């Protein structure tokens, strides 16, 4: 099977790329610059295509069976403006999808975000995929728009679309500004770690488990001859507070410093619960 992958040098994308190459898939991996490097070391290299989303052509999708779209613009805070997020997370991918469809590609797996649910997440113990989308910031808003726009695209072009809303991923290669790598850095260096009160409830899932779920979705969608549009939540199924998560890893790494709980205020508009209903 021939897979066209976007976001191949990102956090999840790097792990996924390594996995599908080792699984024996032929992979065309898109990246904007020759200098871009994967977040983890690969055992084999894919066919690298050095282009932006908006510059791909029909020829780039020759004999491609499936697109896995993992690219995301400013997925970590600070987020870009709403205008730029919509441009890079909605309009440019949509343009690429139209080109791919013209080339005959019928199967699309797309990564969304749990933060699309926004404030509605606090109204559910376990968020169903049909919960209202009430995002509170620019990046999640653009992803919520993309989930609707890609649905319409799939209807128009009679394709298989699997849209995956991924919850709190952590692991090797994650951005250094995020919780898990920040904790690890402090623990390994004997530093204290200032944090919020940690009352936010999340579903933390290891990046390797996310990759397995995406791979399983590829096998499912390509074995289904029907035109199907499916939305799924990707998580571990376990609700855990940030404080519980932080304490677990602090002990796991045998940290010598202290967790400075409550030292940092919550962000404006912080949503306190994101826990998915898992199919």
Structural domains for the chain = 2-170+205-234 (3.40.50.720), 179-201+238-274 (no CATH)
pTM of the model: 0.96
Q: Which two tokens stand for residue 212?
A: 């397995």
Res 44 pLDDT > 80: yes
pLDDT grade for 226, boundaries at 50, 70 and 90: confident
| Average per-residue pLDDT for the chain | 96
Give the mean model confidence (pLDDT) for residues 113-131. Answer: 97
Contact criterion met (CB below 8 Å) for 201 and 275: yes
Count of all residues that appear for the chain in the document = 279
Least confident window among 186-195, 213-222, 241-250: 213-222
Dist. CA 19–CA 215, nearest whole Å = 8
Query: How far, in Å, are 87, 108, 242, 254 from residue 217 at the CA level?
Result: 27, 10, 29, 37
Dist. CA 214–CA 170, nearest whole Å = 16
pLDDT grade for 88, boundaries at 50, 70 and 90: very high
């Amino acid at each position: 099977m021939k897979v066209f992958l976007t976001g191949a040098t990102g956090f999840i994308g790097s792990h996924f790329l390594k996995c599908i190459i080792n699984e024996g898939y032929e992979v065309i991996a898109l990246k904007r610059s020759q200098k871009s490097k994967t977040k983890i070391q690969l055992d084999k290299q894919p066919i690298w295509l050095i282009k932006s989303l908006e510059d791909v052509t029909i020829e780039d999708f020759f004999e491609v069976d499936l697109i896995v779209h993992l690219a995301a613009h400013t997925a970590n805070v600070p987020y870009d403006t709403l205008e730029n997020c919509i441009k890079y997370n909605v309009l440019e991918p949509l343009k690429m999808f139209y080109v791919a469809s013209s080339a005959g590609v019928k199967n699309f797996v797309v990564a969304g975000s749990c933060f699309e649910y926004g404030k509605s997440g606090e109204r559910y113990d376990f968020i169903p995929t049909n919960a209202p989308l009430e995002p509170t910031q620019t990046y999640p808003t653009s992803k919520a728009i993309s989930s609707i726009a890609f649905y319409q695209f799939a209807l128009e072009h009679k394709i298989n679309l699997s849209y995956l809303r991924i919850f709190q991923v952590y692991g090797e290669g994650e951005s250094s500004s995020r919780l898990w790598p920040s904790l690890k850095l402090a623990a390994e260096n004997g530093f204290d770690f200032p944090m919020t009160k940690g009352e936010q409830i999340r579903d933390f899932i290891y990046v390797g488990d996310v990759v397995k779920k995406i791979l399983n979705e590829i096998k499912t969608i390509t074995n289904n001859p029907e035109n199907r549009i499916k939305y799924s939540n990707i998580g571990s199924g376990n609700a855990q507070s940030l404080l519980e998560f932080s304490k677990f890893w602090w002990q796991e790494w045998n940290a010598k410093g202290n967790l400075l709980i409550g030292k940092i205020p919550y962000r404006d508009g912080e949503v306190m619960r994101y826990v998915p209903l898992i199919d």
